[in-house]
Amino acid sequence: MKLKVLIIEDNEQNMYMLSFLLEKNNYEVLQAFNGLEGIKAAIEKSPDVILLDIQLPEMDGYQIALELRKRNDLNNIPIVAVTSHAMVGDREKAIASGATGYIEKPIDPDNFIKRMESYFSEELLQKRNKS
Amino acid sequence: MKKALIVDDIKENLYLLESLLKAYGYKTIAANNGAEALGLAFKEIPDIIIADILMPVMDGYALCREWKKDKVLKDIPFVFYTATYTHPKDEEFALNLGADKFIIKPQEPEVFMAMIEKVLFEFRNGKILVTQPCESSEVEMLKEYNETLIRKMEDRMLKSEEAEKKIRIYATQLEAEIEQRKQATQALKESEDKYRSIFENSGVAILLTSIDGRIFSANDFACKLFGWNEDEICKLGRDGLVFGPDPSLSALTNKRRQIGDAHRELTFIKKDGSKFLAEVSSIIFHDREGNERISMVIRDLTEQRIAEEALKESELRFRTLAESSPVGIFTTDGHGLINYVNPRWCEISKLSFNEALGNGWLKATHYEDQDHLALSWRQTLLSGDSISAEYRFVHPDGSVAWVIEHAIPQRDESGQISGYIGTITDITDRKKMEMDLILAKEKAEESDNLKTVFLQNISHEIRTPLNSIVGFSRLISETGITYHEKERYAELINQSSDQLTSIISDIIQISTIEAGQSKIQKKKFNVNSICEHVYSRFDAVARMKNLSLSYTLGLAEDESWIISDEDKLLQTMNNLVGNAIKFTKLGGVSFGYQKDMDKFVFFVIDTGIGIDPEIHDVIFKRFRQVENSTTRSFGGLGLGLAICKSNIELLGGKIWVESRIGKGARFFFTIPS
């Protein structure tokens, strides 16, 4: 079974690109264009990984991460912040909000998947290998 | 000449009566007692007898009895003249014995003489019968006689006892007085010794002189002062010591007589010929013989004069210092009330000397400073510490002077605070500089902060299109991509490149503005075509967001010409319309212009999220994007409006916004036609 990746991202171009890369690497993609959609999808569709943009309308990525981490059932899911907020302190802020990892934009299509998977737990990696 | 026989045992009484009777032309015969009187009367018969009662040898009553028994004498009037009358019976008894008149001492001489004359007159004219001796028996007579005499004797004894008592008291008093005199004499001697000692050992020169200037005595100090010994001084006299004549001497002497002492200054001359000024206090007094004497106390003023001169000079120096000091100087009394300010103080505060006095100065201070200033002074006065304070004077013209005040307590010998002395320095310039510095620092900090935010934004804004460029460039070469997809990727790459170019051009432009090198290039162009151009640029974008986009032209095509900077106007419109679309989700954007007198008024109206009126000014500042997470999530560098404002101002116009949160925004700007 394919691993499910929830992408929360408002920029269509980015969404398209991330989806393209993930599908090409044998992931199932769930798309959400804002925070509320994202949280709803995270609860209802039990994704295996969440890719999270930080700069979003209404509810930003930090807030979304904080909300997700409040739920016990979502506690162990890797949340990887994918963001153009790449200044000093942005990474720390993302981790403090509950993100597992941090990948800055512009992404490198050649090793984006590898970087994402570096934040997976042992269990998740095994599940990924079986898929 | 009438003869009067007078009988009294007291010489003075006899003498008085003799004198009185002689004055009235009588011849007098004096007797000391009854027996003597009888003897004299037989020798020379008198015309009248005047007798006392109590007498030695033979008393008055016995005499009267014998007198009236005698054949010759009984026709001579017998008059008692006595002070020992104590009882009405005395007179009755006397008259019973045959006395013709009983006169009580004392009597006025005229009255007494009138009585005597009357007795004689009546005898001469025989109007009164010769008093016959009483018929009573001899025994009765003797008994009564004895009683009367005993009464008289007892009376006299009583009086004697009283007199003796009095004498004894007098004697005691006299003894006490003698003792007192002795003591007084001793005290006087001691006092005299004491004063002599004071005189001799006094630390001032003292001369004892007569009124006319002779000197009787000079003390050691005077000898030392003048350089003469006492004998020499006495020989010289006052005139030999005083330099030149003493013009005020007689007036002074009068004054001394009136009020006892007098002071003046005199120049004296010493043995070595040197002169000195001295203060002379002279007191007039009387010696034991009652002669007027003067004690002259001479105090050499040379040193005092030197000290006074020095003090004067010192005071002048300090006064000059205070008067011309570049800092304000003030002094207060022990209650902190001002009692002196120097001219510089007045200049700083713009108060007059009198206005400053007491608490007057406080009224001229800034009302915000008054409470803490009054409190500081109260605490200072309680603690006795020094005080330092900064406060403001408000001048009559409303201008403000900042001052710094320092004051320290002045204490008297007992350690009590007698006042404060303090300075004020005008620190207005320094304060202004301080405030400017603080402002500059705040501005620099703010600017630094803004630049950090700006850099974060820039990083974000550049990364977003870069992400697309990098990503799609990579995807375009992937296998299994359709031609259609490739075309789409190429277009996305182009769009992102444009976005990136625009961002970089904004940055360059704002740098040019920052550097003050932004120039305008004026040419004639058509405003309507600008609007059409803007519309065509954003039509597709608005459509994608389901927003309406419309524009209104204020003039016909052939009238809508203007001479201005076309690029800057176009950029401004693009920025405003682009922003409006960016911040609007529902509704739409309309823009356009109207001709108003000598200017074009452009507008861009949206139905977007709106802008808090509090930040209407801020949004036009460089590097500012409305800073909260909601609006920040719209992205952008925050340079657009700053560039617009700069452009419009360069073109000679104004730009502003009317908006409230949630109510859309209406941007306006003007350009001179």
Put simply, the answer to whether A17 touches B459 (Cβ < 8 Å) is no
Distance from CA of B497 to the nearest CA of A (A): 13
Assign B126 a pLDDT band (cuts: 50, 70, 90): low
Put simply, the answer to whether A105 touches B467 (Cβ < 8 Å) is yes
Q: Is A57 on the interface with B (CB under 8 A)?
A: yes
A 10 A CB-CB count for B128 gives 12
Mean pLDDT of the B142-148 span: 72
User: In the sheet where B548-552 sits, what is the strand order?
Assistant: B548-552, B588-596, B599-606, B665-672, B655-659
- E strands, B233-327, are 261-269, 275-286, 292-300
pLDDT at B128: 52
Q: Chain A residue with minimal CA distance to B631?
A: A57
Put simply, the answer to whether B475 touches A109 (Cβ < 8 Å) is yes
Residue that wins the pLDDT comparison between B118 and B152: B118
Put simply, the answer to whether A106 touches B472 (Cβ < 8 Å) is no
Put simply, the answer to whether A13 touches B468 (Cβ < 8 Å) is yes
Find residue B391's DSSP bridge partners: B403
Residue B259 scores a pLDDT above 90: no
CA distances (Å), B373 to each of A105, B47, B355, B361, B593, in order?
61, 118, 18, 11, 60
Assign B631 a pLDDT band (cuts: 50, 70, 90): very low
The rounded distance, in Å, linking the Cα atoms of A12 and B495 is 13
* Cα dihedral A83, A85, A86, A90 in deg (nearest 10): -110
pLDDT at A108: 87
Q: Report chain B's mean pLDDT, rounded to a whole number.
A: 85
Q: Which of A106, A108, A109 sits opposite B463 (nearest CB)?
A: A106
Chain A positions touching B455 (Cβ under 8 A) are 87
Q: Which of A20, A60, A84 sits opposite B467 (nearest CB)?
A: A84
pLDDT at B655: 94
Residue to test with chain A: of B455, B462, B633, B637, most A Cβ within 10 A:
B633
Distance from CA of A55 to the nearest CA of B (A): 6
The rounded distance, in Å, linking the Cα atoms of B237 and B240 is 5
Lowest mean pLDDT among B59-73, B630-644, B659-673: B630-644
Write the single-letter amino acid at A46. S
pLDDT, one tens digit per residue, over A90-103 is 788 888 999 999 99
Can you tell me which residue has the tokens 């050691």? B220
The separation between CA B528 and the C-alpha centre of its own chain, rounded to angstroms, equals 84
Q: Which of B466, B475, B633 sits opposite A55 (nearest CB)?
A: B633
Q: Which of A20, A56, A106 sits opposite B470 (nearest CB)?
A: A106
Q: Is A107 on the interface with B (CB under 8 A)?
A: yes
Supply the pTM of this predicted model: 0.42
pLDDT, one tens digit per residue, over B408-452 is 999 988 888 889 999 999 999 999 999 899 999 988 888 888 777
Q: Is A11 on the interface with B (CB under 8 A)?
A: yes
B392 φ/ψ angles, rounded to the nearest 5 degrees? -120, 140
pLDDT, one tens digit per residue, over B63-90 is 888 888 888 888 889 998 887 656 777 8
Put simply, the answer to whether B468 touches A14 (Cβ < 8 Å) is yes
Distance from CA of B450 to the nearest CA of A (A): 15
Assign B246 a pLDDT band (cuts: 50, 70, 90): low
Put simply, the answer to whether A13 touches B492 (Cβ < 8 Å) is yes
State ipTM: 0.76
The rounded distance, in Å, linking the Cα atoms of B402 and B396 is 15
Range with top average pLDDT, A65-69, A72-76, A81-85, B630-634? A65-69
pLDDT, one tens digit per residue, over B308-366 is 888 899 888 888 888 888 899 999 998 889 999 999 999 999 999 999 999 889 888 99
Assign B632 a pLDDT band (cuts: 50, 70, 90): very low
Put simply, the answer to whether B470 touches A14 (Cβ < 8 Å) is no
DSSP string, B211-224: TTS-EEEE-HHHHH
Q: Which of B464, B633, B635 sits opposite A105 (nearest CB)?
A: B464
Q: Which of A13, A86, A109 sits opposite B463 (nearest CB)?
A: A86
Chain B positions touching A14 (Cβ under 8 A) are 464, 467-468, 471
Distance from CA of A3 to the nearest CA of B (A): 22
Q: Which of A11, A60, A87 sits opposite B456 (nearest CB)?
A: A87
| Domains identified in chain A and CATH numbers | 3-130 (3.40.50.2300)
Asked if residue B319 lies in contact with residue B311, where contact means CB atoms within 8 angstroms, the answer is: no
The rounded distance, in Å, linking the Cα atoms of A34 and A7 is 10
pLDDT, one tens digit per residue, over B220-237 is 888 988 898 889 888 888
The rounded distance, in Å, linking the Cα atoms of B644 and B567 is 11
Is B633 strand, coil or helix?
coil
pLDDT at B255: 65
Size of interface A-B (CB pairs under 8 A): 65
Residues belonging to chain B with any Cβ–Cβ distance to chain A shorter than 8 Å: 455-456, 459-460, 463-464, 466-472, 474-475, 478, 492, 496, 629-630, 632-635
Q: What is the CA radius of gyration of chain B?
A: 68
SS (H, E, C) B543-596: HHCCCEEEEECCCCCCCCEEEECHHHHHHHHHHHHHHHHHCCCCCEEEEEEEEE
Mean pLDDT of the A3-18 span: 91
Rounded to 10 deg, the angle between the B527-544 and B566-582 helix axes is 20
